Structure 1
Amino acid sequence: MTTTPITVSIERTVDPARIAEATAWMQTGINLATQYPGFLGSGWVRAGASSTTWHMLYRFADDAALLRWEQSPERAWWLESGSGFAHEQKTERRTGIEGWFDEPTVVTVEHSGGSTPVPPRWKQATTIWLGFFPLNVVFAYLTAWLVPGWDDLPLALRALITTLCLTPIMTYLMLPAVTRLLRPWLEPRR
């Protein structure tokens, strides 16, 4: 579970003969969600005046708050009350970390028939390794050359210094760069 804000985007198809009812229904869903702790905001838009596609966004403080809303009896009642005229087509959840510390490159998309997975763990691990290995080698050479007595320091202290220096570089420079380079390989085939 994440402890960062999570945004949910839902695409629905709405019966064009029941626009007024669907409009009231959407607003009712927002009004119900506002009563839940951790609610950070929401909104909805229609794709166009004659479109049957509607988009709804809502945001909660973390997974736990979102889960309370999504498993609530109020939400279940609300979804059931709209089942005759509004049909969910796609759901996306974004936390901002799926893209490894930059803009998300892969999001979880749930279609009415299933979901599109994030990259497999082995691809994520390979991507991290491709950034970490060269950075670690360069750091090891530089510290051995520039810091007298580096090899005489206790192993735990060297590991502490190394991770304190390399973690921000990995987080803000290497992983976003490697992720961008490998994006076509990381994204699931459609």
Structure 2
Amino acid sequence: MAVLEGLESAAGDEVTLFVARRVDPGHEDAFETWARGILGAAADHPGNLGTGLLRPAEPGAPWHLLLHFRDADSFGAWQGSPARAACFARVDGHHVEVARRELHGMEGWFATTATGARRTPPARWKMAVASTVAIAPLTITANLLVTPHLAGLPVVLRSLLLAPVISSLMTYLGLPAVTRLLRRWLFPA
């Protein structure tokens, strides 16, 4: 799969890179060592927001690497970095890239849902609507149930306590539920 083309992104959009690599049988341990090395180097790179490694679902299926960067400039700097080049200089020839998908902004968030992972990201305005549908009930519920217990705290501290709760609920509950509910609209056939 080629890099998605035609995606217009603002300079400040986050960039998420999914890479699938097929590993020759018997070389899985060596590949995992290499993958952890390149992901560790990426994690130390300025602007990196996280990395991940997914083992294959079945023998012979590809391994998946995930790299998430603050913006296109950070991602571009990583792509041209000596640290990345050094990691690729250590490739042993027993694994090869079979797919690559670069996502910008909220596209990366939608791609992490089961439905979104198999499809082209929806239009940005659809992502904004779906995110609002997911965030609104979480925010209302937090304001009704949690905020009254935090009323004595300064606004900034209250916000810092609520943000990870709402973000976690959005990531693991809200967005997957809304993506399933609106899948035909978000990802038309």
Name the SS of the counterpart of 1:40 in structure 2: strand
Shift in Å, 1:32: 0.9
Shift in Å, 1:22: 0.6
C-alpha distance in 2 between matches for 1:14 and 1:87? 7
Task: Give the share of equivalent positions with the same residue, in percent.
Answer: 27
C-alpha distance in 2 between matches for 1:181 and 1:25? 40
- Work out whether 1:48 is the aligned partner of 2:57: yes
Question: Which of 1 and 2 has higher RCO (CA within 8 Å, sep 6+)?
Answer: 2
Provide closer, same or farther for how the CA distance between residues 42 and 103 of structure 1 changes in structure 2, counting only shifts above 3 A. Answer: closer
C-alpha distance in 2 between matches for 1:181 and 1:52? 30
Task: Report what 2:29 is aligned to.
Answer: 20
Provide closer, same or farther for how the CA distance between residues 49 and 77 of structure 1 changes in structure 2, counting only shifts above 3 A. Answer: same
Partner AA of 1:42 in structure 2: T
Matches within 5 A, 1:88-107: 88-97=97-106, 103=110
C-alpha distance in 2 between matches for 1:52 and 1:66? 27
Q: Is 1:14–1:54's contact at 8 Å kept on the other side of the alignment? A: yes
- Work out whether 1:68 is the aligned partner of 2:65: no
Provide closer, same or farther for how the CA distance between residues 41 and 118 of structure 1 changes in structure 2, counting only shifts above 3 A. Answer: closer
Deviation track 1:47-103 (CA, whole Å, cap 9, x = no partner) reads: 23523410010101111001111111221221232250121111112224559xx94
Name the SS of the counterpart of 2:26 in structure 1: helix
Q: Paired residues, what number?
A: 131
C-alpha distance in 2 between matches for 1:182 and 1:118? 8
More strand by share: 1
So what's the TM-score if we normalise by structure 1?
A: 0.52
Name the SS of the counterpart of 2:90 in structure 1: helix
Provide closer, same or farther for how the CA distance between residues 182 and 41 of structure 1 changes in structure 2, counting only shifts above 3 A. Answer: closer
- Work out whether 1:57 is the aligned partner of 2:66: yes
| Alignment RMSD | 4.1
C-alpha distance in 2 between matches for 1:86 and 1:8? 18
Superposition misfits of 4+ residues, deviation over 3 angstroms: 96-99, 180-185
Which protein is bigger by CA-based radius of gyration? 1
Q: Is 1:16–1:52's contact at 8 Å kept on the other side of the alignment? A: no
Task: Report what 1:84 is aligned to.
Answer: 93
Matches within 5 A, 1:1-190: 2-48=11-57, 50-82=59-91, 84-97=93-106, 103=110, 184=188
Provide closer, same or farther for how the CA distance between residues 18 and 98 of structure 1 changes in structure 2, counting only shifts above 3 A. Answer: closer
Name the SS of the counterpart of 1:87 in structure 2: strand
Name the SS of the counterpart of 2:84 in structure 1: helix
C-alpha distance in 2 between matches for 1:12 and 1:21? 13
So what's the TM-score if we normalise by structure 2?
A: 0.52
Partner AA of 1:86 in structure 2: H
C-alpha distance in 2 between matches for 1:16 and 1:85? 9
Q: Is 2:110–2:121's contact at 8 Å kept on the other side of the alignment? A: no
